Amino acid sequence: ERLDPGVQARERVMLGLRLDEPLPLAGLRPALDAEGLARAEQLGLAVDGGQTLALTRRGRFLGGGVTAEILA
Protein backbone atom coordinates (compact mmCIF):
# COMPACT_ATOMS: atom_id res chain seq x y z
CA GLU A 1 0.00 0.00 0.00
CA ARG A 2 1.39 3.38 -1.03
CA LEU A 3 0.98 6.05 1.65
CA ASP A 4 0.85 9.76 0.91
CA PRO A 5 3.71 11.89 2.32
CA GLY A 6 1.62 13.26 5.20
CA VAL A 7 0.69 9.78 6.39
CA GLN A 8 4.30 8.64 5.99
CA ALA A 9 5.50 11.54 8.15
CA ARG A 10 2.95 10.81 10.89
CA GLU A 11 3.88 7.12 10.83
CA ARG A 12 7.57 8.05 11.09
CA VAL A 13 6.85 10.21 14.13
CA MET A 14 4.73 7.52 15.80
CA LEU A 15 7.38 4.86 15.28
CA GLY A 16 10.35 7.15 15.91
CA LEU A 17 9.14 8.32 19.30
CA ARG A 18 9.17 4.73 20.52
CA LEU A 19 12.95 4.59 20.16
CA ASP A 20 15.43 5.33 22.93
CA GLU A 21 17.21 7.91 20.80
CA PRO A 22 15.81 11.28 19.71
CA LEU A 23 13.86 11.38 16.46
CA PRO A 24 15.47 13.54 13.74
CA LEU A 25 12.84 16.04 12.64
CA ALA A 26 14.09 16.72 9.11
CA GLY A 27 10.93 16.96 7.00
CA LEU A 28 8.64 15.92 9.85
CA ARG A 29 7.61 19.29 11.33
CA PRO A 30 4.45 19.50 9.19
CA ALA A 31 3.25 16.28 10.86
CA LEU A 32 3.45 17.90 14.30
CA ASP A 33 0.85 19.97 16.12
CA ALA A 34 2.86 22.91 17.47
CA GLU A 35 0.38 23.60 20.27
CA GLY A 36 0.22 19.95 21.26
CA LEU A 37 4.00 19.75 21.28
CA ALA A 38 4.23 22.90 23.40
CA ARG A 39 1.76 21.40 25.91
CA ALA A 40 3.74 18.16 26.03
CA GLU A 41 6.93 20.13 26.67
CA GLN A 42 5.30 22.22 29.40
CA LEU A 43 4.14 19.04 31.10
CA GLY A 44 7.64 17.57 30.91
CA LEU A 45 6.58 14.84 28.49
CA ALA A 46 8.63 15.79 25.43
CA VAL A 47 11.79 17.66 24.50
CA ASP A 48 12.00 19.54 21.21
CA GLY A 49 15.70 19.94 20.53
CA GLY A 50 15.12 21.91 17.34
CA GLN A 51 16.56 19.25 15.07
CA THR A 52 15.26 16.32 17.12
CA LEU A 53 12.27 15.33 19.21
CA ALA A 54 12.25 12.93 22.13
CA LEU A 55 9.85 11.85 24.81
CA THR A 56 11.02 12.15 28.39
CA ARG A 57 10.95 9.12 30.66
CA ARG A 58 7.48 10.15 31.84
CA GLY A 59 6.41 10.84 28.26
CA ARG A 60 7.55 7.40 27.17
CA PHE A 61 5.55 5.84 29.99
CA LEU A 62 2.46 7.61 28.65
CA GLY A 63 3.68 7.01 25.07
CA GLY A 64 0.64 6.66 22.83
CA GLY A 65 -1.32 9.46 24.42
CA VAL A 66 1.60 11.87 24.22
CA THR A 67 2.30 10.94 20.62
CA ALA A 68 -1.36 11.49 19.72
CA GLU A 69 -1.20 14.93 21.35
CA ILE A 70 1.90 15.86 19.36
CA LEU A 71 0.66 14.75 15.94
CA ALA A 72 -1.17 17.22 13.69
| Domain around 44 | 5-70
**Is pLDDT of 63 > 90?**
no
User: Where does the pLDDT of residue 1 fall: very low under 50, low under 70, confident under 90, or very high at 90 and above?
Assistant: confident
Domain count of the chain? 1
Give tens-digit pLDDT for 21-60: 999 999 999 999 999 999 999 999 999 999 999 999 999 9
Give yes or no for a contact between 70 and 32, defined as CB atoms under 8 angstroms apart. yes
Give Dmax over CA atoms of the chain in angstroms: 37
Q: Which CATH number fits the domain that encloses residue 49?
A: 1.10.10
Give yes or no for a contact between 66 and 40, defined as CB atoms under 8 angstroms apart. yes
Model pTM?
0.89
| Residue type (1 letter), 26 | A
User: Where does the pLDDT of residue 72 fall: very low under 50, low under 70, confident under 90, or very high at 90 and above?
Assistant: confident
Euclidean distance between CA atoms 41 and 66, whole angstroms: 10
